Structure formats: structure tokens, C-alpha cells
Amino acid sequence: MSDEEKKSGIKETGAKVKEITEDLGAAGVGLQVNARSVVLKQALDDSVLKHGTREEGQYNSINGMLRSTNLAIQALAFAVIWAIFGYDPLLGTKNTDLAKFGLLFTISVFLGIVSLLAGIAFWKLFDITKDREDVIKEHLLKLGR
């Protein structure tokens, strides 16, 4: 195998890896948005059952605070990962290949892993079933909500 063929194979593999990591990152963002909506709706319904009053304002405030905290943690994690890989945003396209990989890792693989872990936690810890939804709906109708 010539050097030219090896370089071509490496470029093709790199392009495939890049495509897979970008897909993982996109899927992670979509899953987070959908899961957050479902959890908030369920929390509001459970609150009405427990307290008999609607408390959207409080829950939306808490949700906003948690999202802000999440962004701060995410920024810290990105800064640490970028420091490990040597990425400098001021260098733009002049970053090393390792630094460019660190950027791709941050916006794809890292977010994909975090999203996967969050999805597993949601699946294991949060009880949403059709039967539970029917019970909640029945109770809410009795309360006139």
C-alpha cells in the first residue's frame, strides 16, 4: 500500500468519525430538550395532585435556575477539556490537529456521553407509564383541572 493510499484511507476514516460524532451530539441535544419538557409536565401534574394548586411559576423558576447552573457547569467542563487538548479559540484554524479534535470531542462525543447518562438516569429513576398517566389524568379531572 502506497503512502498516497494510506493518507486517503486515513482521511476517509476521519470523515466518518467526524460524521458519527456530530450525529451523536445532535441527538444528545434533541433528547435533552424533549426529556426536559416531559419531566416538567409530569412534575407540574404531580404537584397539582399533591397540593391541589397549580405552581407553574415556581417550577419554571427552578427549571430556569437549573438550566443556568447547567450552562455554568458545561462551560467549566468545556474549558477543562479545551485546556487538556490545547485548544485556543483565538487561534481559529491555526490550532493543532489535537486541539481541533478536542473541540470536536467537546461538542459531540462529550455531550453524547452526558446525554446518554442522563437518558439512562431518566429511564431508571423517573416513573412515567401509561397507567400512571391515566391515574393522574383521572385525578386532575376530579379536581376540575
Boundaries of every domain in the chain: 3-143
DSSP 11-29: HHHHHHHHHHHHHHHHHHH
3-state helix, strand, coil in the chain (%, to 5): 90, 0, 10
Reported confidence tier of residue 70, pLDDT bands at 50, 70, 90: confident
Residues contacting 55, CB < 8 A, separation 6+ = 44, 47, 48
Cell of 120: 439512562
Q: pTM here?
A: 0.52
pLDDT in tens, 95-119: 898 988 888 888 778 877 887 887 7
- Give the pLDDT of residue 84: 92
| Structure-block grid coordinates of residue 4 | 498516497
Contact 37/25 with Cβ under 8 angstroms? no
